[in-house]
Structures are given as structure tokens and as C-alpha cells.
Amino acid sequence: MALIEDIVNKQKDGARFVISAQALRLDPEEFETLVKMWMEDENRGFELAAVPHRTCIEGEFFIDRITVTRVIAPK
């Protein structure tokens, strides 16, 4: 399974890219939980760049991919 750090660290500062449940081999319910935790983390290495994409599973909507921008904290 790919780690979020692996995906983010491959990107250059300012790069815009997608992180998806499929890339991390997670189902949308698990992915949404992770996204919510990431958004609370100040040092995650990226900022949300667009409205998260959601998928409907049994009448409930879950985030299944996000578009983000790579941010490198100043030293």
C-alpha cells in the first residue's frame, strides 16, 4: 500500500495533484476518515486545492479523492 508521505514527497513545491482512495488502496469510508485527520494536521505537506470528490455508497456520500497543492514549510 502506498503511503500518503510517499505520494506527497514525490511532488515539487506548488505542484497540484490528486490523492485518491484507490491509490492508497482504501475504501471511501476509510479514506474520508484519513482526509479529515489530514486536514487537522498543520504539517501535512499539502493544502486542499479544490472541492473533494465524493462517491455515493448505499445512499451515503464519502470523499474518494482530493486535489491538493504541495506546500513546503519555510525553514
- Specify the residue for cell string 494536521: 41
* Per-residue pLDDT band at 44 (split at 50, 70, 90): confident
Question: Is 75 inside any structural domain?
Answer: no
Separation between Cα atoms, residue 49 and residue 35, nearest integer Å:
13
Q: Total domain count for the chain?
A: 1
Range of the domain at 54: 4-70
pLDDT of residue 67: 95
User: Tell me: the pLDDT tens digits for 8-43?
Assistant: 888 999 999 999 999 999 999 999 999 998 888 877
Separation between Cα atoms, residue 11 and residue 8, nearest integer Å:
6
User: DSSP label at 27?
Assistant: -
> Which secondary-structure segment (H or E) carries 8?
helix 4-9
